Structure 1
Amino acid sequence: MLLTDSFLDYLLYERNYAEGTVKYYRSDILELQKFGEEVLGDLTPSDVDADLVREWIASLMDNGCASNTINRKLSSIQAYFKYLLKKGEVAVDPLQKITRPKKKKPLPVFLREGEMDKLLDDIDFGEGFEGCRDHLIIEMFYATGIRLSELIDLDDKGVDFSASLIKVTGKRNKQRLIPFDEELERSMMDYVNVRNEAVPDRSDAFFVRKNGKRLDRSIVTSLVKRNLSKVVTVKKRSPHVLRHTFATAMLNNGADLGSIKEFLGHESLATTEIYTHTTFEELKKVYNQAHPRA
């Protein structure tokens, strides 16, 4: 495949692309050229067809190239052939019928049970109302899988101690009931007693600040990140990590996917199935560490 500088000059001077970006285009085109010459020998742009591009994609994947990187390379090649089509140097675009690799969804980040035990049982959250409140927030995320927005919007009337149920409003205003156990009930009642004494004048919110107003996202996100940092070093330390931790712990301890779906308030079981991949990755890790032939 004869590579001219006209395409790169077009990107640089007519499209005003940065020099660094143009270097990527040049590298990607040369990479395909080299691969094509190894397969076909001498190569012209017209020799590049969909089959050759598919073989190139397969070789990139075999060499561990990530989907995002492959898709970027394909974008470079497609831009190049669109330019050649416009100039009349080729008759067809070889990427027209190419299905691009799907981006691999990252697995959810979660804490292990031992890390959660250490956080809830050994870490000092501080004395008084705020320490009691912050500990309960961490515990409630872990014990119920509740969303951040659901926790913030929870009112006193949404907690039914007699039935051991929390009523939350999830996405698209869909309401659901989340059961809680005796341990969480004790923690919640302890918090309510401390809160009522420390903050007599307050809103209807279950979780409040010292001034009696409802908590906001930034406060909860900050306290979760601060306390998770005491037991883990993972970069992601958000309330959603605790939601993932809840789901993974439930699955690892025998809960079926359908039940976890209802707990989390997922619309589709496919959304919940991501946790099966998480636990499978853990099993692989254990296997690779423990099996003598791994």
Structure 2
Amino acid sequence: MIDSFINYLEFEKRSSAHTVLAYKKDLEQAAEFVSISFEISALEFCTHTELRAWIIDLVEQGLSATTVNRKLATLRSYYKFLMRSKVISMDPTYKLKSLKTPKKLPEFVQEESISSVLSEEVYSDTFEGQRDKMIMEFLYLTGVRLSELIGLKWKDINLIEDQVKVLGKRQKERIIPITKSLKQNILLYQKVFQERFSKLDGNSYFIVSNKGEQSYPMMIYRIVRQYLDLFAQNTRRSPHLLRHTFATHLLNKGADLNAVKDLLGHANLAATQVYTHNTMEKLKAVFEQAHPKA
């Protein structure tokens, strides 16, 4: 039944390849554990007791609470699928409780640092330099996800209406406005792109390797780390950090929470509200500094 569930995720829910792979690995690990420990041939024959034993084993291995909770979420999704498919009549995960995790505020890059990261003198005039600058700018000025940037094509960018069409999670499209400065830099990047690869059509990928091939996650990670290392003091230096920075800076400047939610492509406000904590900390600091009774 694991294969059926994976097919459901991939073709019906249209989950990302990363999500599908993670779910598959989690379920295979769980199946291996109950097979070795309890001689149970498949997860659909498990009870609360065996699944709880697996969770305890994960904790004893030293896995973080966040990782264990993610694996538990995989189990819950799988057993809901089995319930809907009428393979089982009772969900064995209903008594399993998530582990407590410390609340972490999303990190973001300070405005002064991001200005330095995006300054002209940091990047060379070569194709590679202008492409790297475009990666940093696009991630910060649109808030797109890594996968969305990798999948972006030139035809998705509308410089007449100053907007970009992004294909997000579960194949959901959204439109993000392009700022004047970003538009100007896209035109400069377009010029060096054409000089490097002779022609450009709508189906060409927007961000490509030095050989003109579609970019890939490790390439983007490497480029982002390279430039953030120059100025940012953050513990994590990843493409997602620039997405966090995009959202936090917008909210710090008074942007409407619902508007930020739509720009980020979040399904609900709960995912966006985490960024308001950073804004609240800033408001508290202002209050304590300025209010006579603080």
Instruction: State the match for 2:234 in structure 1.
Output: 234
Distance in 2 separating the partners of 1:253 and 1:283 = 11
| Counterpart code for 2:242 | L
Distance in 1 separating the partners of 2:171 and 2:219 = 23
Tell me how far 1:252 sits from its aligned partner.
1.1
CA deviations 1:170-207 (Å, max 9, x no partner) are: 01111111111111000001001111111226771011
Distance in 2 separating the partners of 1:236 and 1:291 = 34
CA deviations 1:126-161 (Å, max 9, x no partner) are: 230010111111111111111111001000111111
Q: Please give the residue correspondences for 1:195-206 in structure 2 after superposition, counting only pairs within 5 Å.
A: 195-200=193-198, 204-206=204-206
Distance in 2 separating the partners of 1:153 and 1:267 = 20
Instruction: State the match for 1:116 in structure 2.
Output: 114
Instruction: State the match for 2:167 in structure 1.
Output: 169
Instruction: State the match for 2:248 in structure 1.
Output: 248
Distance in 2 separating the partners of 1:243 and 1:218 = 17
Distance in 1 separating the partners of 2:287 and 2:261 = 28
Asked if structure 1 preserves the Cα contact closer than 8 Å seen for 2:108 and 2:234, the reply is no
Tell me how far 1:104 sits from its aligned partner.
3.2
Instruction: State the match for 2:216 in structure 1.
Output: 216
Question: Structure 1: any 5+ residue segments left out of the alignment?
Answer: 1-20, 22-67, 69-98
Q: Is 1:138 aligned to 2:136, yes or no?
A: yes
Q: Classify 1:100/1:154 alpha carbon distance in 2 versus 1 (closer, same or farther; 3 Å).
A: closer
Distance in 2 separating the partners of 1:163 and 1:239 = 26
Q: Please give the residue correspondences for 1:252-263 in structure 2 after superposition, counting only pairs within 5 Å.
A: 252-263=252-263
1:208 match: secondary structure: coil
Q: Please give the residue correspondences for 1:65-214 in structure 2 after superposition, counting only pairs within 5 Å.
A: 102-121=100-119, 123-200=121-198, 204-214=204-214
Question: Structure 2: any 5+ residue segments left out of the alignment?
Answer: 1-59, 66-96
Asked if structure 2 preserves the Cα contact closer than 8 Å seen for 1:156 and 1:204, the reply is yes
State TM-score, norm by structure 1: 0.62
Tell me how far 1:102 sits from its aligned partner.
4.2
Asked if structure 2 preserves the Cα contact closer than 8 Å seen for 1:199 and 1:210, the reply is no
1:110 match: secondary structure: coil
Distance in 2 separating the partners of 1:139 and 1:239 = 11
Asked if structure 2 preserves the Cα contact closer than 8 Å seen for 1:153 and 1:205, the reply is yes
CA deviations 1:67-120 (Å, max 9, x no partner) are: x7xxxxxxxxxxxxxxxxxxxxxxxxxxxxxx9984233110101111111211
Distance in 1 separating the partners of 2:225 and 2:289 = 30
Out of 203-212 and 135-144, give the one that drifted further.
203-212
2:258 match: secondary structure: helix
Q: Please give the residue correspondences for 1:275-286 in structure 2 after superposition, counting only pairs within 5 Å.
A: 275-285=275-285
Tell me how far 1:219 sits from its aligned partner.
0.7
| Counterpart code for 2:149 | L
Distance in 2 separating the partners of 1:114 and 1:245 = 12
Tell me how far 1:267 sits from its aligned partner.
0.2
State TM-score, norm by structure 2: 0.62
Distance in 2 separating the partners of 1:215 and 1:246 = 22
Larger Cα-atom Rg: 1
Distance in 2 separating the partners of 1:180 and 1:283 = 29
Instruction: State the match for 2:274 in structure 1.
Output: 274
2:166 match: secondary structure: strand
The share of aligned pairs that are identical, in percent, is 40
Distance in 2 separating the partners of 1:239 and 1:216 = 12
Tell me how far 1:269 sits from its aligned partner.
0.4
Q: How many residues align?
A: 203
